[in-house]
Amino acid sequence: MKKLILSLILALSLSFSFAGEGMWLPLLLKALNEAEMQSMGMRMTAEDIYSVNQGSLKDAIVHFGGFCTGEIISRSGLVLTNHHCGYGAVQSHSTIENNLLKNGFWAMNKGEELPNPGLFVKFIVRIEDVTEEVLAGVNEDMTSRERQSAVDKNINGLEVEKVDYQDYMVRPFFNGNQYFLFVTETYSDVRLVGAPPESIGKFGADTDNWEWPRHTGDFSLFRIYASPDNTPAEYSADNVPYTPKHSLPISLDGVETGDFTLVFGFPGRTNQYLPSPAVKQIMDVVDPARINIRSKSLKVMDKYMRADEATRLKYAGRFASVANGWKKWIGETQGLEQTDALGKKNELETEFTSRILASDELQSMYGNLLPSFEELYANNTPYIKARIYYDETFNRGIQLFRIVRNLDRLKSTYVNNGEEAYANLAERYLSFFEDYFEDYETIIDREVCEVLLNHFYSNLDKKFLPESIIKEDAFMRDLRVKELTHQLFQDEVATIEGVRALLALDGKGFGEAIDKLYAIAFYRGVQDKLKSDISPSYDANTEGIRELQRIYMKALMEVFPERTFWPDANSTLRVTYGYAEGYEPRDAVTYQPVSFLDGVMQKYKPGDYEFDVHPKLIELYEQGDFGQYADRVTGKMPVCFLGSNHTSGGNSGSPAIDADGNLVGLNFDRVWEGTMSDIHYDRSICRNIMVDIRYVLFVLDKFGGAGYLVEEMELVHPKS
């Protein structure tokens, strides 16, 4: 199996140009990508990027907290990542009296660096192909569950060469047709070194999210500490700064259109090889359902936020969270349409069908694949729509149900684990609810509830509705929704006073009290309906689709041996490469690839939470005091730039690296028109957005006064 897969991957790979598409495993770059990367201008070798015998780029890349990427930029373990990746750590150190989020933070010496319990960084020591071992004894006659059981047993039986402080993980690739082992080292003493104020780190906020031009200094700095022998250690005053195998030199020469760019990191999840019924379902059912529901929530919140400044501040974070996915899905749908993703899938499948019909062997193995996909996706459509409506309405839309859900879990804790466990969790929940209600307005949530319940009952088939309502004519439905909303918000759970009173009870009294609440009964009815009439069919269809996808992936590689396939992202270390380049999103509109500090001042709105500018930054701009960080050609201060690198969630904080292996930027977003790249990458409009490293250093040094940190770094001028 291992030889078969590798031979399929390698076949005629260099005859096709990707120039941006793909998230490639670094250990396979020599065989698959090195020649193309060098033809695009890269002056490194594959060994410079990934090596187990010497320090290489991969030794400067860390999985930051398990949700972002970071890179080491000094020989003293200094780590750079995004502001939004370090946001939780900065927030944890913030108080009303010392608001680090608002004011920024700069440790002026190592003694001022702040520990962050629970935060970690993970290095990849080496990667190995273990397909043969993992799939030993596995055959196509097995059911999907039998197959998974055999795979799990083989993984648990692997003998892995590692030292005591190392760990390993095995991940499936190509939908379970190939498996790779990753030996890792995790460092848990990670200290906050610096972060700009939100007016820089979140400049543009919701309005600019997914947009270009962008002017956000989305970065923060941390430092890894280790035991005196440089191995992982829990936090201790005796720990010392980590000495890396490799740290990234920093280029002060910036990028120009056509420059080679490499992004190295841990992209989260892509689905590039979905069949056409899946893409059609996303475009026609999944994204529209999500967009429509969130549009209604956002409209209600926006009305109240515009009417009152205090409300706007309370709901800014929630609005941003809801709007982030909403805006992405709109862009995703439009991008899929604009690039004719469905048409291209159909063309591929037409050719796929033609080839398998020409071979009796292929036809016997794969002849029924595409019709089976059509049937399963059609069967699953009503169930996936119902799940989206339940999730977006009761888990994400109506805030009251987050309160109800946690209280119901608290009763389960008492029933299953007793009074002591209940009391401990109740204490933690009380702290959570005190904070939660500070940014909660009953009047807003009540209106959101009425709007979303009305939409829920208007758009779902009656068979998927909980028994709390009978779907009658519109007039009766509206009356019933108003009645439901009134009953839900009459309960104690809608106020902090009521929640405090409930949590003051012992476990037995608490359980008896919440069992009498209408909101609890309603929530349980919703969950029962979901579990009994929706999830079983959805799960069965999804399991069938997942198994078909594995077979389809294998078939694609066999039927198209002249093509090179890259494995979908799965939060493992990947390389993507492209160019610094702008794009044309629509007729008569052209975006240049670099933005400047001039644009920050053009967007400046005094007092606005998205576009306010710090007085010191204004002063530096007006004086042209950019130090050594100004653009060498224009003399202006660069802020962000675009690349055609194929990125996804998890690539936040990934380094943008030039042709020589120097750091030139920090990835933090994608453009709105290209958000469909998780499903269908198209170089014409898919762009990633990066902070220019010169802006990072300018803010750190000239704005923050922490120039001593720059002295730790290796600054280079590769274009001189």
The confidence score (pLDDT) of residue 688 equals 97
**Burial of 72 by CB count in 10 Å (0-12 exposed, 13-18 middle, 19+ buried)?**
buried
| pLDDT bracket for residue 13 (50, 70, 90) | very low
Of 129, 206, 208, 218, which is the active-site residue? 218
The confidence score (pLDDT) of residue 6 equals 41
| pLDDT bracket for residue 608 (50, 70, 90) | confident
The confidence score (pLDDT) of residue 206 equals 85
What mean pLDDT comes out for the span 244-251? 98
What mean pLDDT comes out for the span 401-406? 95
The confidence score (pLDDT) of residue 19 equals 60
Distances (CA, A) of 310 to 407, 444, 496, 557, 590: 28, 13, 19, 57, 39
Of 63, 83, 84, 455, which is the active-site residue? 84
What mean pLDDT comes out for the span 470-480? 65
Establish whether the linkage from the previous residue to 213 is cis, with ω within 30° of 0. Answer: yes
The confidence score (pLDDT) of residue 4 equals 39
| Average pLDDT for the chain | 93
Please say if 218 is a catalytic residue.
Answer: yes
Q: Say how many C-beta atoms besides its own lie within 10 A of residue 58's C-beta.
A: 23
| Paired strand residues for 579 | 260
| pLDDT bracket for residue 144 (50, 70, 90) | confident
Evaluate whether residue 384 is within a structural domain: yes
- What is the full DSSP assignment across 437-495? HHT--HHHHHHHHHHHHHHHHHHS-GGGS-TT-----HHHHHHHHHHHHHHHHHSGGGS
CA–CA separation, 534 vs 532, rounded Å? 6
Statement: residue 276 has pLDDT above 90: yes
The confidence score (pLDDT) of residue 536 equals 96
What mean pLDDT comes out for the span 704-718? 96
Alpha-carbon Rg for the chain, nearest whole angstrom, is 27
The confidence score (pLDDT) of residue 658 equals 98
Q: Output 533 or 6, whichever has higher pLDDT.
A: 533
The confidence score (pLDDT) of residue 588 equals 93
Statement: residue 541 has pLDDT above 90: yes
Evaluate whether residue 706 is within a structural domain: no
Of 652, 658, 677, 678, which is the active-site residue? 652
Contacts of 207 (CB under 8 A, 6+ apart): 610, 611
What mean pLDDT comes out for the span 172-191? 97
Evaluate whether residue 373 is within a structural domain: yes
| pLDDT bracket for residue 12 (50, 70, 90) | very low
Number of helical (H) and strand (E) elements in the chain, helices listed first: 28, 22
Evaluate whether residue 539 is within a structural domain: yes
| Paired strand residues for 71 | 61, 80
Tokens standing for residue 557:
């590689």
Statement: residue 542 has pLDDT above 90: yes
- Helical (H) or strand (E) element with 128: strand 121-129
Work out the angle at residue 77's Cα, subtended by the Cα atoms of residues 71 and 82, and round it to the nearest 5 degrees: 35
Q: Report how many domains make up the chain.
A: 1
The domain in which residue 431 lies consists of 276-552
Evaluate whether residue 327 is within a structural domain: yes
The confidence score (pLDDT) of residue 472 equals 60
Evaluate whether residue 500 is within a structural domain: yes
Evaluate whether residue 649 is within a structural domain: no
Does the pTM surpass 0.85? The reply is yes
Statement: residue 447 has pLDDT above 60: yes
What's the per-residue H, E or C state across 505-562? CCHHHHHHHHHCCHHHHHHHHHHHHHHHHHHHHHHHHHHHHHHHHHHHHHHHHHHCCC
The confidence score (pLDDT) of residue 313 equals 77
The confidence score (pLDDT) of residue 664 equals 98
b/e per residue 94-133 (b: at least 16 CB within 10 A): eeeeebbbeebbbbeeeeebebbeebbbbbbbbbbbbbeb
CA–CA separation, 38 vs 34, rounded Å? 6
Share of the chain above pLDDT 90, in %: 87
pLDDT in tens, 298-351: 999 999 998 988 888 788 879 988 999 999 999 999 999 999 999 999 999 999
pLDDT in tens, 29-56: 999 999 999 999 999 999 999 999 899 9
Tokens standing for residue 676:
């469909």
| Paired strand residues for 179 | 172
The confidence score (pLDDT) of residue 301 equals 96
Between helix 474-490 and helix 442-459 the angle, nearest 10°, is: 140
Lowest mean pLDDT across 155-164, 460-469, 508-517, 531-540: 460-469
Please say if 246 is a catalytic residue.
Answer: no
Work out the angle at residue 224's Cα, subtended by the Cα atoms of residues 222 and 227, and round it to the nearest 5 degrees: 155
Please say if 84 is a catalytic residue.
Answer: yes
Evaluate whether residue 506 is within a structural domain: yes
Statement: residue 427 has pLDDT above 50: yes
Q: Say how many C-beta atoms besides its own lie within 10 A of residue 92's C-beta.
A: 14
The confidence score (pLDDT) of residue 320 equals 85
